[in-house]
Chain A
Amino acid sequence: MEDEQKRTRYEIHLRGFLSDALIGAFPELRARRGPHETVLVGELADQAALHGAIGRVEALGLELLEVRRVDRRKG
Chain B
Amino acid sequence: MGVIERHQPADPAPTAALAPRPRATIRTMGALDRTSVVRPPSLVARPALFERLSAGLDAGVTLLSAPAGSGKTVLLRSWIEAEGLGERAAWVSVERDERNPQHFWRSAVDALSGTHLDGSLENVVAAPQFDGAVAIERLVAALGSLDESVLLVIDDLHELRSPEALTQLETLLDRRPQQLAVMLSTRHDPAIGLHRYRLSGELTELRASDLRFQRDDARQLLSAAGIDLPATALDALVARTEGWAAGLRLAALSLAGRADAERFVAEFSGSERTVADYLMAEVLQRQPEPVRGLLLRTSILERVNGPLADRLVGAPGSERILLELEDAGAFVVSIDPDRVWFRYHQMFADLLRLELRRSEPDSIPNLHRAAAEWFEAHDFPTEAIRHAQAAGDWQYAGELIGQYGFSLALDGGFATMRALLEPFPADAFANPELAAFLAYGEVIRPSLDTAASYIALAERHASEVPEERRQRFDAMLATARLTLARWRGDYAAAVSEVPPLLAPSEALRAGDIRLGNDLRAVALMSLGIVELWAGAGDDAEQHLREGAELARRVGRPYVEQGCLAHLALAVGRHSITAGRALAAEALEIIDKYGWQSEPITPLVLATIGLVDAMQGRLAEAAPNLDRALELLRPDAEPAKEILVRYARGVHLLGQARLADASAAFADTLRLQASLIDPDPLEIAARALEAQTLARLGDLEGARAALATGPREESEYAETRVATAAIHLAEQNATAATAALGPVLADSSPAIIHDFALIQARLLDALARDALGDARAAEDDLERALDLAEREGLIVLFLITPVRDLLERHPRHRTAHAALLDAILDVQAGAAPQPRDRDDAGPIEELTESEIRVLRYLPSNLSAPEIASEVFLSTSTVKTHMRHIYEKLGVHKRTEAVERARDLGLLAPAHRSRH
**B273 & A25 in contact (Cβ 8 Å cutoff):** no
Contacting residues, chain B, for A20 (C-beta < 8 A)? 358
B347 at the interface (CB under 8 A from A): yes
**B69 & A61 in contact (Cβ 8 Å cutoff):** yes
Assuming the contacts A25-B350, A60-B350, A61-B246, asked whether A19 and B272 have C-beta atoms less than 8 A apart, the reply is no
Cα of A51 to Cα of B699 in the assembled complex, Å = 69
**A61 & B67 in contact (Cβ 8 Å cutoff):** yes
B142 at the interface (CB under 8 A from A): no
B422 CB to nearest chain A CB (Å) = 16
| Complex interface: stretch among B82-90, B274-282, B363-371, B599-607 | B274-282
**B354 & A18 in contact (Cβ 8 Å cutoff):** no
Chain A residue with minimal CB distance to B346?
Answer: A59
**B68 & A58 in contact (Cβ 8 Å cutoff):** yes
- What residues of chain B have their CB less than 8 Å away from a CB belonging to chain A? 67-69, 158, 187-188, 244, 246, 271-277, 281, 346-347, 350-351, 354-355, 357-358
B290 CB to nearest chain A CB (Å) = 21
Cα of A58 to Cα of B277 in the assembled complex, Å = 14
Q: Once A and B bind, how many residue pairs between them come within 8 Å at the CB atom?
A: 65
**A60 & B272 in contact (Cβ 8 Å cutoff):** no
Chain A residue with minimal CB distance to B246?
Answer: A61
**A19 & B357 in contact (Cβ 8 Å cutoff):** no
Assuming the contacts A21-B358, A25-B354, asked whether A16 and B273 have C-beta atoms less than 8 A apart, the reply is yes
Cα of A15 to Cα of B244 in the assembled complex, Å = 15
Could you say which of B244, B273, B276 contacts A60, with CB atoms under 8 Å apart? Answer: B276
Q: Type the 1/0 row for A2-24, where 1 means its CB is closer than 8 Å to any CB of B.
A: 00000000000011111111101
B462 CB to nearest chain A CB (Å) = 40
**A60 & B355 in contact (Cβ 8 Å cutoff):** no
**B273 & A18 in contact (Cβ 8 Å cutoff):** yes
In chain A between 5 and 57, which residues have their CB closer than 8 angstroms to a CB of chain B?
14-22, 24-25, 35-36, 56
Q: Can you list 27 contacts pairing A with B, beta carbon distance less than 8 Å?
A: A15-B274, A16-B272, A18-B273, A18-B277, A19-B277, A19-B281, A21-B355, A21-B357, A22-B274, A22-B277, A22-B351, A24-B357, A24-B358, A36-B272, A58-B187, A59-B68, A59-B347, A59-B350, A60-B68, A60-B276, A60-B350, A60-B351, A61-B67, A61-B244, A61-B274, A62-B274, A62-B276
Cα of A22 to Cα of B69 in the assembled complex, Å = 16
- Interface residues of A: mostly helix, strand, loop or mixed? loop
Contacting residues, chain B, for A62 (C-beta < 8 A)? 274, 276
B64 CB to nearest chain A CB (Å) = 15
Cα of A14 to Cα of B281 in the assembled complex, Å = 19
Chain A CB count within 10 A is highest, among B68, B244, B271, for B68
Apart from A16-B273, A58-B188, A61-B244, list 14 A-B contacts with CB within 8 A.
Answer: A15-B274, A16-B274, A18-B274, A19-B273, A21-B351, A21-B358, A35-B272, A58-B158, A59-B347, A59-B350, A60-B350, A61-B246, A61-B276, A61-B347
**A21 & B187 in contact (Cβ 8 Å cutoff):** no
B275 CB to nearest chain A CB (Å) = 8
Contacting residues, chain A, for B273 (C-beta < 8 A)? 16-19
A20 CB to nearest chain B CB (Å) = 6
Chain B residue with minimal CB distance to A59?
Answer: B350
Could you say which of B68, B188, B272, B355 contacts A61, with CB atoms under 8 Å apart? Answer: B68
Chain B CB count within 10 A is highest, among A59, A61, A62, for A61
Cα of A35 to Cα of B275 in the assembled complex, Å = 14
Cα of A21 to Cα of B356 in the assembled complex, Å = 9
Assuming the contacts A58-B188, A61-B68, A61-B246, asked whether A17 and B354 have C-beta atoms less than 8 A apart, the reply is no
Contacting residues, chain A, for B346 (C-beta < 8 A)? 59
Cα of A62 to Cα of B274 in the assembled complex, Å = 7
Cα of A61 to Cα of B347 in the assembled complex, Å = 7
In the A-B complex, the 9 residue pairs with the smallest Cβ-Cβ separation, listed nearest first, are A16-B274, A61-B68, A17-B272, A21-B354, A21-B358, A61-B69, A17-B273, A19-B277, A35-B272
A63 CB to nearest chain B CB (Å) = 8
Chain B residue with minimal CB distance to A15?
Answer: B274
**B277 & A21 in contact (Cβ 8 Å cutoff):** yes
B864 CB to nearest chain A CB (Å) = 92
Contacting residues, chain B, for A14 (C-beta < 8 A)? 274
**A17 & B358 in contact (Cβ 8 Å cutoff):** no
Contacting residues, chain A, for B271 (C-beta < 8 A)? 17
B280 CB to nearest chain A CB (Å) = 8
Contacting residues, chain A, for B69 (C-beta < 8 A)? 61
Contacting residues, chain B, for A19 (C-beta < 8 A)? 273-274, 277, 281
Cα of A14 to Cα of B272 in the assembled complex, Å = 12
Cα of A46 to Cα of B171 in the assembled complex, Å = 32
A56 CB to nearest chain B CB (Å) = 8
Chain B residue with minimal CB distance to A55?
Answer: B158
Assuming the contacts A60-B347, A61-B246, asked whether A24 and B354 have C-beta atoms less than 8 A apart, the reply is yes
Chain A residue with minimal CB distance to B242?
Answer: A63
Chain B residue with minimal CB distance to A25?
Answer: B354
Contacting residues, chain A, for B246 (C-beta < 8 A)? 61
Chain A residue with minimal CB distance to B358?
Answer: A21
Contacting residues, chain B, for A18 (C-beta < 8 A)? 273-274, 277
B310 CB to nearest chain A CB (Å) = 26
Cα of A61 to Cα of B357 in the assembled complex, Å = 18
Cα of A19 to Cα of B282 in the assembled complex, Å = 13
Assuming the contacts A59-B346, A59-B347, asked whether A17 and B187 have C-beta atoms less than 8 A apart, the reply is no
Could you say which of A17, A24, A58 contacts B67, with CB atoms under 8 Å apart? Answer: A58
Cα of A22 to Cα of B277 in the assembled complex, Å = 7
A15 CB to nearest chain B CB (Å) = 7
A14 CB to nearest chain B CB (Å) = 8
Chain A residue with minimal CB distance to B271?
Answer: A17
Contacting residues, chain B, for A15 (C-beta < 8 A)? 274
**B272 & A22 in contact (Cβ 8 Å cutoff):** no
